[in-house]
Amino acid sequence: MLESELMEHIQKIRNENGFINYVGVEYGEFHEGYATGKLKLRPQLRNPFGSVHGGCIFTLADTIGGTAAMTRGSYVTTVSASIQYLYPAKDTEYLTAEAEEVKNGRTISVYDVWIRDDKQNHIAKVTLSYYKLGPIESENI
């Protein structure tokens, strides 16, 4: 499959995901083993203390990490994750995510995702492992 076809397919299936659309994750750049994205903050995504809810931060990381993993040509599902919340996300309009490949194994892939605010402060660091469900075949596109 041509790389451009794979990237278009990933974009299409990600845009059809109801939960991701509901939360408001936006995709940025992605290529083999790498992806970026962002989340525009709104009042519904904040916790009672005024900072972004940790679940929203994790959703952004998992979505962008999974997108990076899919660029290797397989559908994936998350099998484990570790998140370190470093600072509260309060005075920012967007959170951005950058996912980089740590390992592209035969069945398991590992990605590190950094979440940053508008001032490039590190809000969270997430390490995710994905299980490869099967190849994205050209006939599925």
Going by C-beta distance under 8 Å and a sequence separation of 6 or more, which residues neighbour residue 93? 40, 41, 118
Quote the percentage of the chain above a pLDDT of 90. Answer: 77
In 51-93 the beta strands, taken as DSSP E runs, fall at: 74-85
Q: Is 139 a residue whose pLDDT tops 70? A: no
H or E segment and range at residue 97: strand 94-104
Q: How confident is the model at residue 141 (pLDDT cuts 50, 70, 90)?
A: very low
Residue range 5-32: mean pLDDT, rounded: 84
Superfamily of domain 3-140: Hotdog Thioesterase (3.10.129.10)
* Tens digit of each residue's pLDDT (9 = 90 or more) over 35-79: 999 999 999 999 999 999 999 999 999 999 999 999 999 999 999
33 CB burial (10 A radius; 0-12, 13-18, 19+)? middle
Q: Is 106 a residue whose pLDDT tops 80? A: yes
Ranges of each domain in the chain: 3-140
Helix axes of 3-15 and 54-70: crossing angle, nearest 10 degrees: 150
Average pLDDT, the chain: 92
